[in-house]
Amino acid sequence: MSTPVSRGARLRLRARARLGLMRHLPPFFPILPLSLIAPFAVATAHAEQSTTQTAADSASNTDITTLPTVSVSASNGTSNAAPTRAVDPNLPATVETVTPAQFDNWNVVNTEDVLKYLPNLAVRKRFVGDLNSIIAVRGTSNTQSARGLVYADGLLLSNLLGNSYAFPPRWSMVFPDQIQQVDVIYGPYSALYPGNSLGATVLITTRMPTKFEATADVKAFTQHFSLYGVNQNFNGSEMSASIGDRIGKFSYLLGMNHLENTSQPLQFATLAQSSTVAQPGDTPVHGAYFYNNQTNTRTAVLGVNGEGIEHTVQDQFKLRMQYDFTPTVQGGVTLGYWHQSYDSQTSTFLYDDNGNPVYSGKVNIGGYEYTIPASALAPSRGWSENWLYGASLRTHQATGWNAEAIASYYDVSSSVARTASSGGSGDGPGTMTLGDGTGWKTLDLKATWTPARPDAGLAAHWLSFGYHYDNYSVDNRTYNTLAWRDGGAGSFANAFAGKTETQAFYAQDAWRFLPRWKLVYGVRYEDWQAYDGYQALGGVRVPYAGVSDRHFSPKASLSFDVTDDLTLRASIARAYRFPTVGELFQGQINGSSIVNNNPNLRPEDDLSKELSAEWAHWNGLFRFTLFQDDVKNTIFSQTDTTVIPNVTNFQNIGKVRSRGVETSYQGQDVLLHGLDFSANVAYTQSKILANAQNPASVGKYFYRIPLWRVNVVATYRFDARSALTLAARYSGRQYNTLTNTDTNPNVFGGTSSYTVADVKFTFRPTKQTEIGVGIDNLFDARYYVYHPYPGRTFYAEAKFGL
């Protein structure tokens, strides 16, 4: 039994609950340090002792003032999930948490949707089923994918093979209806996580059943989209089902999911307005649209190109099993499968005088000559198969030693991307890129110590230390083909490959040296290397010498409980984000041609600082945070303007500083019984302070970091069966170029500011059924992340559970 704490402290704990951070760690191989095996063996042996002694120890400590275990669970009446894990009292950073009790009342189709209203965070999701959904937080833009980490039950889902929109986390390895909670850690303040946590770390915990359960969920969605020459409806659907049970010491949860959707047009073929008078041989055409682009240059829109109107089909399979060897020793196995295919349709707006479509060549538009490249309106298609294998073994004692081992392997067993050489509906020549043999594997070993009398006025220490290993491998080969849709590989075009490997050791201590004061400090040592890198263009293979680097990253956080309801915290951390395989060896890809690469990149060197206050009041939690990130050697794709000819590739930018402020509130029964309300406002100023390769960018705002982000969400529960949610999202001015030359951002090709409203009504006729209807982008705002975001989208959903 625990000594009661104040109501305010309980509120603060409840708001910060739903965590369990110390038990999450990425998942394999070559080294098993004896220093870690020994604590694991000790912990396991201790765990196999009779639980009677544990109960007796707990009873003997009833006079100790301890914080109680706080848990949160979904309240939809259909979940058999186990309670949420207890709060980790030693968190050294800002954390935001969402649970099904909240996002069950939002329009959620894909897993990343549960993050849509968190403070100073945005997801670059262009349509339902988008393969390139990247998180952006604070001073990290939505193209810096390697500055974010995503774990599901300790298994790493982050695709650290590259650093751009093309390397998103593998969200599809998690079904939204299996999520128990999601915790987002802001910044690199914990020694438990690598430098890729510079932006944020997302920890997804999925539930396991406590008795037999079966669920089914069907969603349908549609949007009407009108822009330039496109004016039509785009529809999609999703179906999922799961079955699970707990039989004695064994529990399992099996889920399947099928998604099919067609996106709005994502990209348009454009040419700058011509000043060249048309020649007699040019083909007269009509149907072009004109607009002022992001730099206010008059531009002709010729049709839908590039990613075009993308039709995607995705199938998922997920099996998770757990076995309790003893009351405090648990093992688990995860098997995930994800298959996706896409078909990007393109179209031309141009027709000649006889009504025939025109895709390329010299044309006459309004008396002026335009030259349309053959590839301007080329369609594409592709597919891939992905497997996730995971295994874990952990102990979970209330005090003393605990240990955990997690291993994972993510395998892209098949990957094919095909692109036509020219527009039209035929099956002419093109290219095909094979990416099988790509993937990553990880291993994490961790040991922790929890004191038996943590709050008895003594110098209590919570210890964590561990070992991490990861290996990332890329092997991409491109071939010419005579039939781009399904033809075999012909002559070799190009290839690139490479590997990176990281081994890390870390130690962290949370020391309550006075009743209201706590110091969390630690250090992480990382040894990184890149090897087996090469590029091949035509018949020439160019190997690259291996590179390596190693760094220590110290961390410290000091917190003071001013009262039971108010906590102040100051944190500082050093973090190093090492280059990915793609940045080192792939460089950029333009169509099917590899343009440049940079095997001599230095790691990003970050110094992060944060001051935060959390105050439990008015049935909720207020947070106020000041933060600053100073990143040296930021890795970013840019043009080196100091050499002739200019070179565009991934380069190190001397220094980028991001500083800002966040305020947030999240509460229940706010003013009215049944009204849950959350609101957050963030201001971020991210500027380039040094950039030797592009001096014109110095003093300018960094790429795609909005000055303001605002989110407001209100859910009113009329009763236990029905609820209505109203929400709004705002993103302010940001730039799509390092030199801030995009002066007209709210158009295609720009990155616009926007205000978007969402609504959803949920009704539960019985404890086993649920119906939901909702709308995203209620007022049909037209906004852009270079590509257009979706228009007004309607959702309908039906759930059934046993």
pLDDT digits (tens, 9 = 90+) for 330-383: 999 999 999 999 999 999 999 999 999 999 999 999 999 999 999 999 999 999
Rounded to 5°, the CA angle 279-280-285 comes to 85
CATH code for 7-267+282-801? Answer: 2.40.170.20
Buried b (16+ CB within 10 A) or exposed e, 579-606: bbbbbbbbbbbeebebebbbbebebbbb
Backbone angles phi, psi at 485, to 5 degrees: -70, -45
Contact 77, 721 (CB under 8 A): no
- At residue 191, the 3 state secondary structure works out as coil
The whole-number pLDDT of residue 643 equals 82
Note the pLDDT of residue 641: 85
Residue 224 CB coordination number (10 Å): 14
Q: What is the largest CA-CA distance in the chain?
A: 98
Based on the number of CB atoms within 10 Å of its own CB, is 800 exposed (0-12), middle (13-18) or buried (19 or more)?
A: middle
> How far is Cα 748 from Cα 267, in angstroms, rounded to an integer?
8
Element (H, E) at 629: strand 620-640
CA 647 to chain centre: 30
Rounded alpha-carbon distances, angstroms, from residue 81 to 35, 206, 255, 395, 525: 36, 9, 15, 20, 37
pLDDT of residue 458: 58
**Strand pairing category for 329-348 and 298-326:** antiparallel
Q: Residue 306 corresponds to which amino acid?
A: G
Nearest to 238, CA basis, from 261, 264, 262, 215: 261
Cα–Cα distance measured from residue 113 to residue 96, given in angstroms and rounded to the nearest whole number: 15
Q: Extract the residue ranges of the chain whose pLDDT is less than 70.
A: 1-89, 454-458, 587-596
Paired tokens of 651: 């380069």
CA distances, 248 to each of 49, 271, 326, 337 (Å):
20, 67, 12, 27
Consecutive H or E run containing 59: helix 51-60
Q: Which of 524, 463, 779, 612 is nearest to 93 (CA)?
A: 612
DSSP 519-547: EEEEEEEEEEEEEEEEEEETTEEEEE--E
Q: Where are the domains of the chain?
A: 7-267+282-801
Cβ-based neighbours of 694, under 8 Å, separated by 6 or more: 638, 639, 640, 641, 642, 653, 738, 739
Tell me, what's the pLDDT at 540? 84
Q: What is the pLDDT of residue 231?
A: 95
Strand pairing category for 566-577 and 604-617 = antiparallel
Distance CA(693)–CA(679), nearest Å, equals: 41
